[in-house]
Amino acid sequence: MRKGKKNFTPQVLQEVEITDAGAEGKAIGRKDNMVIFVDNAIPGDIADIQILRKKKSFIEGRAITFHHLSDKRAAPFCKHFGICGGCKWQNMKYEHQLFYKQKQVVESFTRIAHLEIPDISTIIASPQQTCYRNKLEYTFSDYRWLTDEDMRSESRDSINMNALGFHIPQHFDRVLDIETCYLQDEPTNLIRNGLKEFCITHGLTFYNPRRHTGFMRNLLIRNTTLNETMAIVVFGEANEDNQKKVLDHVLEIYPSLTSLMFVINTKNNDTISDLDIQCYHGKPFIEEQLGDFLFRIGPVSFFQTNSRQALNMYNIIREFAGETSGKIIYDLYTGTGTIANFVSQKAQKVVGIEYIASAIDDAKINSKLNNISNTCFIAGDIAKTLNAEFIEQQGKPDIIITDPPRSGMHPAVVEQLLQIKPERIVYVSCNPATQARDFAMLTSAYKIKTVQPMDMFPHTHHMENIVLLEKMKNN
């Protein structure tokens, strides 16, 4: 209800046919030549849509009454679906999720960037559709989100308002208490539920994001396919006695932990990469095996979220790079050097650039761990680092691999690629729209040779896309 309008009645559009799936996982319908972005619906549904926001060129709304249910629908397997916001496509059959992800790539390239592209390879499905994530972060909160079931409960007034789970979308101060999450393998649910019960029983305060008070703040769990598990407990304030009680109990819940870390965060944000993270038990890292390579993962290391699919992705990147014998390769946005190490075997030299210094430290460790001696990792802002002087020092690259953040490459980096003109560019992206934008600036010198979408994040609209660009002969 809008403030000051007691008799306000939400406007409802009747019997809207949902025809597509679009950005941010929303479904798309049309009514009277207006595009409607819809929550809680999938293509093939016919539903009444309650308008939540009306703009000049589009409407946002949610489905409230269904007249016809799509044959693309699947029964959600998680009780938190529809509230949590983490797996928006869980109500769509997996083969249709793949279809709309591939369609997203085609439309980004042809309709947004107006690029001519070859036939796109069929999207590669994730080896696992559940329990595929190797990292999850949970939040403690004393301001639990009350579900419809909670609101209808006769004992509503006695509900414990402490929660350990995920932030409700668009509500930074509300957390949904999670009972079972299917994104990560055990022991994630065992540790989370056991720790929450212990903290409530012992009267330990949960964090309040408005007042920035509370002892228990976050819980991060990382795991690997080698069955190694790291738990990181984030405390909102220092209290050595209570810290020890909590950490000892985590070990009681799961004695097989490879690594138990803790950190005290009294800042107003949840970032812990700039804090002193201490090892309480075991090793200060866990290890992951991808193909012939072993990678060390610390508490703040970047690592691809879906380990099994990451192996498939790195094999494709290496294939797209082509013959590397005696060649110089640049790996831009190298992170912890996973790709750089993966393509290093026959190369003369691989140069990785990354702006996060701690990631570069991890990259160097990973090269040493795998007895790789032909890599060189440099910390710096790529837009400033990748210049003529740098290329003179490191050598002109024959192949450039780039895996930028969702925002894509800085225009200065794109311009530098046009100046360097390597024979091949392998562009890895989690956002086909910004990837296509960057390609539009490269078409004067490069043609798109191969496009390979991959599903790294089942039940979401997110994906990865790998593209091989080859320099045109007249350049």
Residue 366 neighbours by CB under 8 Å, 6+ apart: 293, 294, 295, 296, 336, 337, 338, 341
Q: Is the pLDDT of residue 228 over 80?
A: yes
329-339 pLDDT tens trace = 999 999 999 99
CA distance 304 to 466: 14
pLDDT (mean) for 17-22: 93
In Å, how far from its chain's centre is CA 67?
Answer: 35
Decide if 103-128+306-471 and 135-290 have a common fold: no
Residue 1: which pLDDT band, with cuts at 50, 70 and 90?
very low
Which DSSP string corresponds to 142-194? SSBPPPHHHHH-TTGGG----EEEEEETTEEEEEEEPS--SSS-TTHHHHHHH
What are the distances in angstroms from CA 334 to CA 134, 293, 341, 385, 418?
Answer: 19, 16, 10, 13, 20
Statement: residue 8 has pLDDT above 60: no
Radius of gyration of the chain from its Cα atoms, rounded to whole angstroms: 24
What's the mean pLDDT in 252-264? 98
Q: Give the count of beta carbons closer than 10 Å to the beta carbon of residue 216.
A: 27
Cα–Cα distance for residue pair 73/93, rounded to 1 Å:
6
Contact 111, 105 (CB under 8 A): no
Asked whether the predicted pLDDT for residue 28 surpasses 70, the reply is: yes
Give CATH for domain 12-73.
Answer: 2.40.50.140
Burial of 390 (0-12, 13-18, 19+ CB in 10 A): middle
pLDDT tens by residue, 356-382: 888 999 999 999 999 999 999 999 999
In this prediction, residues 313-332 reach a mean pLDDT of: 96
More confident residue, 262 or 155: 262
| Beta bridge partner(s), residue 427 | 402, 467
pLDDT digits (tens, 9 = 90+) for 403-448: 999 999 999 999 999 999 999 999 999 999 999 999 999 999 999 9
**Six token digits for residue 395:** 């050598």
Which of 78, 87, 181, 430 is catalytic? The answer is 430
% of the chain beyond a pLDDT of 90: 84
Distance CA(375)–CA(337), nearest Å, equals 9
- pLDDT score, position 6: 52
Interval 64-97: pLDDT, tens: 999 999 999 999 999 999 898 889 999 999 999 9
Query: Quick one: CA dihedral 403, 440, 322, 375, positive or negative?
Result: negative
Q: Domain 103-128+306-471: what homologous superfamily?
A: Vaccinia Virus protein VP39 (3.40.50.150)
Quick one: tokens of 250? 């985590």
pLDDT higher than 80, residue 154: no
Topology given in CATH for the domain delimited by 135-290: OB fold (Dihydrolipoamide Acetyltransferase, E2P) (2.40.50)
* Rounded Cα distance, 37 and 274, in Å: 39
Beta bridge partners of 229: 223
Lookup: tokens for 8: 């306000």
The pLDDT, as a whole number, for residue 117 is 86
Domain ranges of the chain: 12-73, 103-128+306-471, 135-290
- Chain-wide mean pLDDT for the chain? 93
Active site residue 430: yes
